[in-house]
Amino acid sequence: MRTSRRTTIGSNSIAATLCIAALVSGAGVAEATGGFSQWLAEFQSEAIQRGISEPTVRAALANIEPIPRVLELDRTQPGAKPSDFCKYMQGRLTPTRIARGQRVLAEERELLMQLTHEYGIPARYLVALWGLETNFGDYTGDYPVLASLATLAHDTRRPDLFRRQLLAALRIVDEGHQTATRYKGSWAGASGHVQFMPTTFLEYAVDHDGDGRKDLWGSRADSLASAANYLRRSGWRPGETWGRQVSLPATLGRETAALRKRRPLAAWKDMGVTRSNGRALPDASLRGRIVQPLRGPGPAFLAYANYDTFLAWNHSTYFAVSVGTFADELGNRSSLRACGL
């Protein structure tokens, strides 16, 4: 989910800088650890000043240590390579996952119908997001969120971002939605069935089953409702689709500013854009822009307003196209004619 929830962080030379600083100052591991303890004590004071209860702050942050592996992962995030689009799609939209998504649609039919009624999001999009984020709750992450966020907040790369996330995580614990010890997630702090970052949790998580807890770890109802709430409040337009794969005339084959401009469907038709099977685009009062994951020749998509809610969730063209395509597969309206899918 968007930057506040998912953090995409490029590598830089901070590790080298830290090594040099350590050599210059003669600092070693002991001093670095001492630095963390002092930092943590100051952070605890701030958290208490900000209204998180002292017992929560003391208990939740007692004995936590920085996690070297979290820093390693933060330093080595691979950049998305355009040529990997098909590999990405094939890895995420496997026949097994699509079949399981179909079963989930049936199993959770009643809940999903309620959510569609309440938030205007068709079931298939919620199931697609759930399947892509955690394989329907199978992989929600094993990193202790508070210690991971403390590691990144103490680090020098994006301390403000992760400090906010750590404060939000403490608030989640303080409000009783999760315990400090059971609060697990990705190395960067995304957690639960739909991998919300703590600030996203505070803003968008809902207690759909009405037990008083926003339980995005144990409750399918809370998790899927929270995803629906996120999409709706990010601008989802009920009754509209997300986009479709299209064919571009040769004259429009390369990514240009003209293609990225939002235009009515009729205007794209006039420019020679067709459905991917060559048939005419439908007559609908939608506006869209052309998205080309490979930034040039290769699959092209006409993306409508709802596509932007997927980008709000996670600012990645690959991700957004995979959500829409997965949802199409679940709705038996498979439209992707690329990557052997």
> Interface with Ca ion by CB under 5 A: which residues?
207, 209, 211, 213, 215, 219, 222
CB of 224 to Ca ion, least distance (A): 12
CB nearer to Ca ion: pick between 84 and 118:
118
CB of 225 to Ca ion, least distance (A): 9
CB nearer to Ca ion: pick between 6 and 208:
208
CB of 112 to Ca ion, least distance (A): 17
Yes or no: say if 215 and 194 are a contact pair by the CB < 8 Å rule: no
CB of 305 to Ca ion, least distance (A): 30
CB nearer to Ca ion: pick between 75 and 213:
213
CB of 144 to Ca ion, least distance (A): 23
CB nearer to Ca ion: pick between 222 and 329:
222
* The residue type at 42: E
* The residue type at 68: P
CA distance 30 to 38: 12
Residues sharing a CB contact under 8 Å with residue 183, sequence separation 6 or more, in sequence order: 144, 145, 146, 169, 172, 173, 191
CB nearer to Ca ion: pick between 213 and 315:
213
**HEC per residue, 295-308:** CCCCCEEEECHHHH
CB nearer to Ca ion: pick between 222 and 255:
222
Strands 287-291 and 274-275: unpaired
CB of 212 to Ca ion, least distance (A): 7
Structure tokens at 265: 């469907």
Structure tokens at 69: 């592996």
CB of 230 to Ca ion, least distance (A): 16
Cβ count near 314 (within 10 Å): 23
DSSP code string of 117-175 = HHH---HHHHHHHHHHHHTTTT----EEHHHHHHHHHHSSSSHHHHHHHHHHHHHHHHT
* Exposure on the CB side of residue 169, measured as CA atoms within 13 A: 33
CB nearer to Ca ion: pick between 108 and 328:
108
